Structure 1
Amino acid sequence: MKCIRLLAAVCLTWLSGQAVAAVCVQDDTNQTVCVQQAQRVLVLAPHLTEIVDFVGGMSKVIAVDGSSNFPESVNTLPKLGNPWMLGAESILARKPDLVLVWQSGISMEVVAQLRKAGVPVFVSEPKKIEQVASTMRRLSALLGTEQRSASRIDDWLQQFKSLRAEYGGRSIVPVFYQVWSQPLMTLGGQHAVSEVIELCGGRNIFVDLPNLAAQVSVEGVLKRKPEVLLASGSERDHQSFVMQWASWPQMPAVKRNQVYTLPNDILVRNGPRLIQAAKLVCAHIEQARR
């Protein structure tokens, strides 16, 4: 096999006397993943499903995980349930020529079994905006959509740069992002949510936490005096969120009615809709700033 280094490595193998191009990229575990014209792709994480759609590769997807629900067209595809419950045998039965998985959402033992069986597996774990863009580029290379999606990815990144330019120099607003109410959970500085808050001129009050997610106390939140409270959910969830914190009117965010709920999934899924979430977060932070 002969390889030529481009954005991804293009490798040539000879089958029946003809050169057939294979594309190789490194995944987020630094494993090399090579495919030759993938046509049967399994996508086992919602953020990866959204990325595949964004780069124009959905026509090659034969099934997705049970939580993938965007775009709406994925609901016509077979859904394989929770990836943690899938064994290698059930995945291999679909005869995939490429499997896309989330490192935190699947057993790495299953990944090892798939690779041993000769199936290319791309393991994803993006934690920052640039890493999401890198995932987009690498998957577009594997899916053969690199040329037609490159400008779209560039524009996606440029929108974040524009938000940073617009809001980055303004007064800093302390923000608390709530993942769950019981137990009370938040996200630390390693998560893209912190980066989104920061580029809007805010500051995640728990940016110092080393873990992606962590349990915190009400007292800890009150002590850090957030001026904006954020969560994700429905209108009903929003009402519960407001009521949850109404018992602490001394908190600046509650006192000034700066309690907001973002649409489900767009902020916590590290995929293309992260830019929609960022624009909403910036607007809410700016409202609190005013």
Structure 2
Amino acid sequence: MQVALCLLIGLLILALPASANPTCVQDDTNQTVCVQQAQRVLVLAPHLTEIVDFVGGMSKVVAVDGSSNFPESVNALPKLGNPWMLSAESILARKPDLVLVWQSGISMEVVAQLRKAGVPVFVSEPKKIEQVASTMRRVSKLLGTERASARSVEEWMRQFKALRAEYSGRAIVPVFYQVWSQPLMTLGGQHAVSEVIGLCGGRNIFVDLPNLAAQVSVEGVLKRKPEVLLASGSTRDHQGFLKQWAGWPQLPAVKLGQVYTIPNDILVRNGPRLIEAARLVCDHIEQARH
């Protein structure tokens, strides 16, 4: 009787579903992040919110940062404000089983506290187009949507390759990208914006700057003679951008009327809409050639 009971218990144990192995990826700080079927995800950066939506994981998101505004449906979720102002305690209060953050947009001390509390934290810092695609793949793996979204990620990369092939061999156009007017700020060669300009057959005039972003002078811009001026902003911002540079009619871009703004967010957020921005940048650079 006892032997039979032991056998029965053994069979029942074998019949129970085995605990699934955790899903693990490396984040952009080379930390291993493991999850076990994440269902309560906090996303604390706009580019990551857009990536989660792109790979089909929004149903698992319980809250986002205050700047996330795309897709429109994200505005129905609780917004936690500026990630720099969040404490580990306020994040833990949401009982997340996965937190997605931007390395440049949050205190790494808070990240360390979350990890110490046992919460998986994926830290993102994509600087190139392929790194954005890699982020998409790794995030989709953590969310369990990797197989369903793989073709979308491949197609996204294919569109960039098509743009690069289309504009390959055309005349190089010097381009200045303005981040801010006072002080005058631009982006260096390590930023994805510089890569986008390059695949369109343009050349970021400050591609030699080692930092992602840097302050420059008007004299420095004049010396490098850009034929296109670019910035991100609204229609109102565009008018201010035009007015700012109108005082320098000797600048080739001003003389040629090649001063453009790209709609807010799509170029400076390293997420899925970067391809939309790339097409606009290519169109503007192509106009300058003619």
Instruction: With the length of structure 1 as denominator, give the TM-score of the two structures.
Output: 0.94
Give the whole-Å Cα distance in 2 for the aligned partners of 1:110 and 1:156.
33
Q: How does 1:61-210 map to 2 (within 5 A)?
A: 61-210=61-210
Q: Paired residue for 1:27?
A: 27
Matches within 5 A, 1:173-252: 173-252=173-252
Aligned to 2:255: 255
Code of the aligned partner of 2:192? A
Gap runs ≥5 in structure 2: 1-13
* Structure 1 unmatched ranges of 5 or more: 1-13
Secondary structure of the corresponding residue to residue 18 of structure 1: coil
* Matching residue of 1:8: none
Please report the RMSD computed on the Cα atoms of aligned residues, expressed in angstroms: 1.0
The runs of at least 4 consecutive aligned structure 1 residues that moved more than 3 Å come to none
Amino acid aligned to 2:25: V
One-letter amino acid matched to 1:236: R
The match for 2:43 is 43
* Rounded Cα–Cα distance in structure 2 between residues aligned with 1:37 and 1:238: 45
Give yes or no for contact 1:228–1:285 (8 Å, CA) kept in 2: yes
1:289, 1:168 → 2: CA distance?
13
Deviations 1:28-82 (A, max 9, x none): 0000000011000000000000000000000000000000000011100000000
CA distance, structure 2, for counterparts of residue 169 and residue 128 of structure 1: 22
Distance in 2 between residues matched to 1:120 and 1:249, nearest whole Å: 54
One-letter code aligned to 2:216: V
- Matched with 2:283 is 283
The structural deviation recorded for 1:272 is 0.3
Distance 1:51 1:237 in 2: 27
Shift of 1:22: 1.3
SS class of match (1:37): coil
Once residues 50 and 246 of structure 2 are traced to their aligned partners in structure 1, the CA distance between those partners, rounded to angstroms, is: 36
Separation in structure 1 between the aligned mates of residue 211 and residue 130 of structure 2, nearest angstrom: 19
- The structure with the greater share of residues assigned to strand is 1
Query: Residue in 1 aligned with 2:53?
Result: 53
Structure (1 or 2) with the larger CA radius of gyration: 2
Alpha-carbon distance in structure 2 between the residues aligned to 1:289 and 1:79: 44
Q: Number of aligned pairs?
A: 276
Q: CA deviation at 1:19?
A: 2.6
Structure 1 Cα separation of the partners of residues 238 and 128 of structure 2: 27
Deviation at 1:149, TM superposition (A): 0.3
What TM-score comes out, normalization by structure 2 length? Answer: 0.94
In structure 2, give the amino acid aligned to 1:114. L
SS of residue in 2 equivalent to 1:20: coil
Amino acid at match of 1:57: G
- Separation in 2, partners of 1:19, 1:85: 37
Amino acid at match of 2:241: F
- Give the Cα–Cα distance (whole angstroms) in 2 for the partners of residues 264 and 80 of structure 1: 21
Q: Does the CA contact (< 8 Å) of 1:228 and 1:288 recur in 2?
A: yes
Give identity over the alignment, percent.
86
Deviation at 1:17? 6.5
